Structures are given as structure tokens and as C-alpha cells.
Structure 1
Amino acid sequence: MSDEKKRSVEIERTSVGAYEIRNVRGGSMSLGTGDDERFTPVELLLAALGGCSGIDVDLVVSRRAEPSRFVIRVRGDKIRDEAGSNRLENLEVEFDVEFPPGPEGDRARAVVPRLIQQSHDRLCTVTRTVETGTPVSTVHKA
């Protein structure tokens, strides 16, 4: 696979249960266990689901009109299944989007449902990966 198609982050432990995530562009954020304000891995997964589709929708719809409200809520239920494995189910991405009155706002409103569906069905890499159940391998570098 070419380098332009590869995606990666590096996660470094800063203390017990605390980590710093860095991307190749120099961005960073804190990760934790949920005992403080740091995002948990599950919250980051939810954010990735909503953020991916949100970006897909926003980049197109904002060419028609600037939203007066653009909020995405993502939820899911964390369960322990019959095999004793933790996972999420009932994942839901909710768009709460409003546009000002007028022809531009009308054009933007008209395309939002189609854009959300396109993002879900084929554009959002995160949703497509979760729904297809892509295997994850783990490697220990000694």
C-alpha cells in the first residue's frame, strides 16, 4: 500500500491510565480511562463515527448555505456479550442541522438527507470500517 493511503497515530503513555495521541501532522490530544476530562477510547470511536459523516455532509452543504446550527450527537450502548466480550451496539449518529430561511437555506436543507445517506453508505471510512467488521491485528515489538 502506498504511503499516501496509510493512516496512523502514535499513542504514548504519560502516566498510569493517561496517554498522549499524536498524528503525523503534529496534532495531539489526551486519552484516558474516564476518570478525568480526557476522552476515552470509546468516546473517540463515537467521535470518529460522527466526525467522519459530519465532515462529509458539511463540506458539501456549506457550499449552498452556512448552517445556523450544525450539531452531531453519537451514542451507543456498551455491553458485555454472551462470550464475555465488551463491545458497542445500537450505534446512532444524529444530525441536528438548521439553515437560515431563504433560497440558499432551502437548497441546503433539501440535500442534507441524501448527503447523510451517501456518507453512511459509501463515503465515511469510519462507518464503512465498523459496519464491515474489518479484522484488527495486534503486534508486539520487543
Structure 2
Amino acid sequence: MTTSQRSVRIQRTAQGRYVAHNEQGATLEFGDGDDQFSPVELLLAAIGGCTAIDTDVATSRRTEPDEFTVTVTGDKVSERESGNRMENLEVRFAVRFPEGEQGDAARSMLPRTVALSHDKLCTVSRTVELGTPVRTVIE
């Protein structure tokens, strides 16, 4: 087993508006406004993005896709007793490769790479499915 710590820092920029910073210097704005990604949407993007990256890296070695779209959906459930959560999460791939030998090779490996990402490689969806506890600390 190997471990490597990852982190992001979140700063409030205004009421309901935040910026996440990673260690590489990238930033991502989010919040609760109509023109912002919500935290739930960021979760969906992380789930889909993780598997999309794994799949794209493997298949694009064969050929560049003509289309590569990943749509992630789920139902936000709010219950008094158990609190808010997401259910019925689904990651849907719409991937098209050009005709020919390289496209055929990429197409044939697509189901296997998506499954491998879901079952083993994607840290985000694996963490969600395993139900890793989250600890909060107030400094």
C-alpha cells in the first residue's frame, strides 16, 4: 500500500462564493449562485472527470476521439433523519472514434478501460462507493 496526501485550500471571496486552490497553483471558483458550480456539481464533475481521464489516457493512445463526453447524474435527497446525500449516481460515456484500425482498437478497449477505472483506478468514485468517513476540525 502506498499513500500520498493531497489537499486543497478554500477561501471565501464573498457571501456564498469561494475559490479552491490546489498545491500546483490552479484555482476553481464555486458557490451557491446561479453562475457558479455548486459543491454537489463539483462532486459529480470529480466522479466523471476521474473516470474520463483514466479512459481518455488509455484510448487516445490509439487515436483521438471524434467525440468524448461524460455526463454524470444523480438525485439529491434531503431527509430529516439521515440528512442530505446523493443517490442513483450514473456516469454515462458518449465516445466516438474515427473509422479504421486505430478507431476499432480504441472502441474495443473502451468498455474495459471504463470498467477498470470504475472498479480500481478512480480514487473519487472508489472513495464514494467505499464510504470513507470525513472528519472535521475547527482550529
TM-score (norm 1): 0.94
| d(CA) in 1 for partners of 2:91, 2:61 | 22
Correspondence 1:83 to 2:81: yes
SS of the residue aligned with 1:5? coil
Query: What is the aligned partner in structure 2 of residue 40 from structure 1?
Result: 38
Shift of 1:36: 2.4
Equivalent residue in structure 1 for 2:101, among 95, 99, 103: 103
Shift of 1:137: 0.1
RMSD after superposition: 1.3
Shift of 1:81: 3.3
| d(CA) in 1 for partners of 2:109, 2:80 | 41
SS of the residue aligned with 2:135? coil
Shift of 1:31: 1.1
| d(CA) in 1 for partners of 2:92, 2:5 | 29
| d(CA) in 2 for partners of 1:84, 1:54 | 31
Query: What is the aligned partner in structure 1 of residue 92 from structure 2?
Result: 94
Unaligned runs of 5+ in 2: none
Unaligned runs of 5+ in 1: none
Query: What is the aligned partner in structure 2 of residue 73 from structure 1?
Result: 71
Q: What amino acid does structure 2 have at the position aligned with 1:107?
A: A
Q: Residue by residue, what CA displacement relative to the aligned partner does 1:78-100 show, whole Å, maximum 9, x if unpaired?
A: 01236240000000000000000
Q: What amino acid does structure 2 have at the position aligned with 1:41?
A: P
Equivalent pairs, count: 138
TM-score (norm 2): 0.96
SS of the residue aligned with 1:89? strand
